Structures are given as C-alpha cells and as structure tokens.
C-alpha cells in the first residue's frame, strides 16, 4: 500500500523553489522507487523482481506502437528417447514461403498443389481450385467386382434358336401316311373296347411322351429327375381317373415335395435350378395337361361313359387340324407362319387345318352326346389352341437343339411330337364341356 501526505502530493507536481515559476504540463512525473518522498509498504519492488529472473524481458514496452508481427513457432527440440510421442513432429506455424522449406524433411507439400505445366511454379500453400474429385467421379472410376456365379450345366448360347432345324424335309410322305393311318386304326379299336383299355393307352402315351421330354433335356445338359417325373405323371393320370379333379392338386403337391427331397439328396454337385425347372416344366406340360384325357373318361364325372365321346371328338378335331395343315402347307404353302420357330409351318397350312377340322366338327353330332352347337364351339377353340400347342413344342425343340423328341413313330418323330397339339386341346375340351354343360 502506497501512502503519501497531501502536502507531499502537491509538492511533487511543482518545483520546490518558490521563485521558480513553472507552468503545468499535464504529464505524470516518473517517481523513482528510491525517492524519499514515496513510501512503499507491503509490496516488492518490480524492478528488483525482474532483475532476479533468468531471462530479461523480450516484449516491447507497452507504451511503444504495435509492430503487427505474429510470432512463428519453428522450434522442434528433440524429445527424450523414452517419450512415446518422440516420433510425432511438433506443430509449426507457417506464415510465408520460407517457413515451408525450413525444418520440413518429412512432408512434401507440393503434392497438395494443383497440377501445373512448370513444377517450379507450384506453390503448395496456395490453392486456386478444388483438387479433390467429387464422390460421383470416384465411384464411377472405381472398378466393380465381377459377379461370381457357379457354372451352369446348360450350354450357353447367344441365340439358342440359331441354326436349329426342324424335322427333316425329305421324310417319305408314304411312311408318314402309313404310320398315321395304322395309329388311327389302333386308337379306334381301343376306344371300341371300353374305358379301361383307353385308360391304359393314355398312361402309356403319357409315359412315352414324358420320357422323351426328359431325354431331350438331358441331351441339352440339364439334370431332370426322370424317374420321379415319370412316376408322378402316371400316378396323376390314374388318380385323376379314379378321384376326379381333386387328385390333381394332391398329386402335384406330393410331386413338388419329393422333387425337393430328390435334389436335397444331391446337394450342390449339380445345378439344381436347371434340374428342378426342367422336371417341373415337363410334369406340368405333359403330366398335368395330359391328365385331362383321364378326367374326360373318368367315371366320377361321366358314369354313362359319355366322356369317351368327348375325348374321341377332341382327338378327331386335333388330327383333322394337323392333317389339313400338313397337306395345305405342302402343296400351296407360300407364306411362313413363324419362320424363326418352325420354318415348315405356313399361313396356308394354318387355314387348311382350320377348314379340315371344321369338316370334322360337322361329323361329331353323329356321336352322342355331341351336338352341332357344341361341336362348333369346341372346334372354334381348338382351331386356336392346337396350332399354338404345335408351335410351342417346336419352340422347345429348337431351344433344346433337337429335331424330334423321339423316333418311335416313323415319319412323325416321337410320341410327344404327335400329341403336342392334343396336350393343349384336352384341357380346353374338358372345361368347355363343363362350362357349356355338354355332358
């Protein structure tokens, strides 16, 4: 605490000589700590404290004008060996170009600068444009990994229909006619024998057709469950004959269940997608569509054996369509119907099949319980679905790379080649008979 008397405070502002006239300057006089007129109590003299320090004051006096300089920290003293942070350099403030090259041996700042034609002009402390590419460019330039997929058993082909021919055109017409005639006589005799013999022929024909289809898929590289599909197809036909439509869903569910068990037992040794797809496809195409022949003659729906007449009518309309298309296409066919699928089928053949099957429709009322109205309705529907079934079978054959599904019928190929249109005609006839209440 500093104390002084009023008298001494006044005397410190002017001279002690009463004869000396001095004007006030408004300046605060500097009082030395050794002045006897000032007494310092309870405080240490600042000058003595500063004198005892290890370093002299380096800061400018507070009364001096500011220089505007910013201190730069460039000192990097070596850290002790036991210091874990010894390998990390100390921070450094950089203000000008010289600071970037001083004390900097571990970092090349030029990599941050944008590309220039002259490396001498590169100034890493200046940035005139964005040097980091946008995220979209980085993602676009990043290579995508190739998808990994196990090799499928089906042989690859860019165009599976290219270079695949239909049935040979030089087949003897006489052989084809004789085979068809004998087959028609055999079917007619079987129908005259009754329902049970017809059911035996239906099961045999479906078994041959499904076997030929599975063999063609195996040739193409697939691995269908042939034995399972064969048993399921025959079992479906027998169950449909004895129980009616309710058997179709039951047998199909059991078939799918056993097909899953079949391929589970194989594991990953084969491509089960091709295998199970071909198995289910053939079962639906031949087994389910063909079982409608058994439904048409089933005693559950037709106890008076009227179903035999409806099945015979469907067969006659299908045969008439095929024969009319064959002869019309052979003699007057000029315009291709579907050249990419079946080059041998023509528009003229399609018209010829429709005309000949119409003539057969007028003959159907001779069989009870057919009527002219029901015959014309079924004829109109089969005129569409029979050629579609024939084209569909041609599409499957050309995709699999085979001319015929089999060779059991000379001049006609296999059994499936002969009943391809009938597989579409049977369900159509069955549902038309029920919807129109023809039975």
Q: For 328-348, what is each residue's pLDDT tens digit?
A: 888 887 888 888 888 888 899
Question: Is residue 247 domain-shared with residue 202, that is, in the same domain?
Answer: yes
Same domain, 206 and 268: yes
From the list 164, 233, 216, the residue with the least C-alpha distance to 417 is: 216
The pairs formed by 135-142 with CB atoms below 8 angstroms and a separation of 24 or more are none
Residue 134, domain member (yes or no)? no
Q: What is the pTM of this model?
A: 0.61
- Residue range 87-130, pLDDT digits in tens: 666 666 666 666 655 555 555 555 555 555 555 555 555 555 55
Burial class (CB in 10 A: 0-12, 13-18, 19+), 300: middle
Task: Specify the number of domains making up the chain.
Answer: 2
The separation between CA 251 and the C-alpha centre of its own chain, rounded to angstroms, equals 32
80's tokens:
């002790």
Distances in Å between the Cα of 374 and the Cα atoms of 250, 415, 437 are 31, 29, 10
Q: Is 281 in the same domain as 330?
A: no
Residue 231 vs residue 7, higher pLDDT: 231
Decide if 325 contacts 350 (C-beta within 8 A). Answer: yes
Q: 229 and 330 share a domain? A: no
Asked whether residue 353 is assigned to any structural domain, the reply reads yes
Q: What is the mean pLDDT of residues 211-232?
A: 91
Average confidence (pLDDT) over 244-261: 93
Averaged over 263-274, what is the pLDDT? Answer: 79
Are residues 199 and 308 in contact, defined by beta-carbon separation less than 8 angstroms? no
At which residue do the structure tokens 């068809």 appear?
Answer: 180
Q: 330 and 413 share a domain?
A: yes
Same domain, 392 and 330: yes
Secondary-structure percent of the chain, ordered helix, strand, coil, rounded to 5:
55, 5, 45
Whole-angstrom distance, CA of residue 206 vs CA of residue 24: 135
Range of the domain at 284: 195-304
> Do 287 and 314 share a domain, yes or no?
no
Please report whether residue 273 resides in a domain: yes
DSSP string, 278-290: HHHHHIIIIIIHH
In this prediction, residue 33 carries a pLDDT of: 56
Domain end point (choices 304, 327, 354): 304
> Which of 53-62, 68-77, 161-170, 308-317 is least confident?
161-170
Mean pLDDT confidence for 210-232: 91
- Could you report the per-residue pLDDT of 423-435, keeping only the tens digit for each? 999 999 999 998 8
- Joined together, the tokens standing for residue 174 give 């006489």
Among candidate residues 281, 304, 327, the one where a domain is terminated: 304
Task: Give the H or E element holding residue 235.
Answer: helix 226-243
Tokens standing for 96?
Answer: 């000008």
Residues 314 and 437 in one domain: yes
User: Is 64 within the bounds of a domain?
Assistant: no
Q: Does residue 349 belong to any structural domain of this protein?
A: yes
Considering the domain architecture, whether residues 266 and 318 belong to the same structural domain is answered as: no
Last residue of some domain: 288, 304, 320?
A: 304
- The H-or-E segment that residue 264 falls in is helix 246-266
Question: What is the Cα–Cα distance from 186 to 180, expressed in whole angstroms?
Answer: 10
Whether 272 and 328 map to the same domain: the answer is no
Task: Tell me the CA distances in angstroms from 394 to 46, 70, 149, 202, one per residue in order.
Answer: 114, 91, 31, 22
Read off the pLDDT of residues 159-182 as tens digits, 9 standing for 90 and up: 444 544 444 444 567 777 788 788
219 and 289 fall within a common domain: yes
SS3 for 21? coil
User: Any alpha helices (H) in 12-93, and if so which ranges?
Assistant: 46-51
**Judgement on whether residues 276 and 360 belong to the same structural domain of the protein:** no
In sign, the C-alpha dihedral spanning 424, 429, 434, 435 is: positive
**CA distance linking residue 127 with residue 113, whole number of Å:** 6
Q: Give the range with max mean pLDDT: 29-38, 178-187, 277-286, 366-375.
A: 277-286
Q: Is residue 398 part of a domain?
A: yes
How are beta strands 336-338 and 39-40 bridged, if at all? Answer: unpaired
In a domain, 350, yes or no: yes
């Amino acid at each position: 605490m500093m104390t002084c008397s009023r008298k001494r405070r006044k005397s410190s502002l002017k001279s002690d000589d009463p004869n000396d006239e001095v004007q006030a300057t408004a300046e605060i006089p500097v009082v030395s700590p050794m002045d006897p007129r000032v007494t310092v109590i309870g405080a240490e003299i600042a000058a003595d404290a500063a004198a005892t320090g290890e370093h002299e004051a380096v800061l400018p006096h507070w009364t001096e004008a500011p220089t505007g300089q910013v201190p730069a920290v460039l000192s990097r003293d070596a850290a002790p060996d036991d210091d874990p942070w010894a390998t990390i350099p100390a921070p450094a403030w950089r203000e000008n170009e010289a600071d970037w090259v001083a004390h900097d041996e571990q970092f090349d700042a030029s990599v941050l600068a944008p590309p220039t034609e002259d490396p001498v002009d590169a100034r890493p402390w200046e940035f005139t444009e964005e040097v980091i590419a946008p995220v979209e460019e980085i993602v676009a330039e990043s290579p995508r990994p190739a998808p990994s997929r196990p090799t499928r058993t089906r042989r690859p082909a860019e165009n599976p229909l290219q270079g695949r021919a239909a049935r040979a055109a030089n087949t003897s017409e006489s052989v084809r006619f004789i085979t068809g005639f004998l087959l028609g006589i055999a079917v007619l005799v079987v129908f005259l024998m009754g329902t049970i013999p017809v059911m035996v022929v239906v099961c045999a024909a479906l078994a041959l057709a499904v076997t030929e289809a599975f063999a063609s898929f195996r040739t193409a590289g697939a691995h269908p469950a042939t034995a399972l599909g064969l048993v399921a197809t025959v079992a479906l036909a027998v169950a449909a004959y004895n129980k009616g439509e309710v058997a179709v869903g039951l047998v199909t569910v059991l078939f799918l269940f056993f097909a899953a068990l079949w391929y589970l037992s194989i594991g990953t040794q084969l491509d089960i997608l091709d295998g199970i797809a071909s198995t289910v496809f053939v079962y639906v195409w031949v087994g389910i569509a063909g079982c409608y022949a058994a439904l048409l003659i089933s005693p559950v729906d037709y106890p008076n054996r009227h179903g035999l007449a409806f099945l015979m009518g469907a067969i006659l309309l299908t045969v008439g369509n095929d024969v009319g298309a064959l002869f019309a296409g052979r003699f007057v066919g000029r315009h291709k119907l579907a050249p990419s699928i079946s080059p041998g089928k023509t528009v003229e053949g399609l018209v010829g099949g429709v005309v000949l099957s119409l003539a057969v429709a007028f003959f159907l009322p001779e069989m009870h319980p057919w009527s002219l109205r029901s015959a014309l309705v079924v004829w109109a529907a089969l005129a569409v679905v029979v050629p579609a079934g024939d084209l569909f079978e041609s599409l499957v054959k050309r995709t699999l790379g085979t001319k015929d599904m089999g060779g059991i019928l000379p001049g006609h190929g296999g059994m499936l080649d002969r009943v391809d249109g009938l597989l579409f005609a049977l369900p159509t006839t069955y549902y038309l008979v029920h919807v129109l209440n023809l039975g």
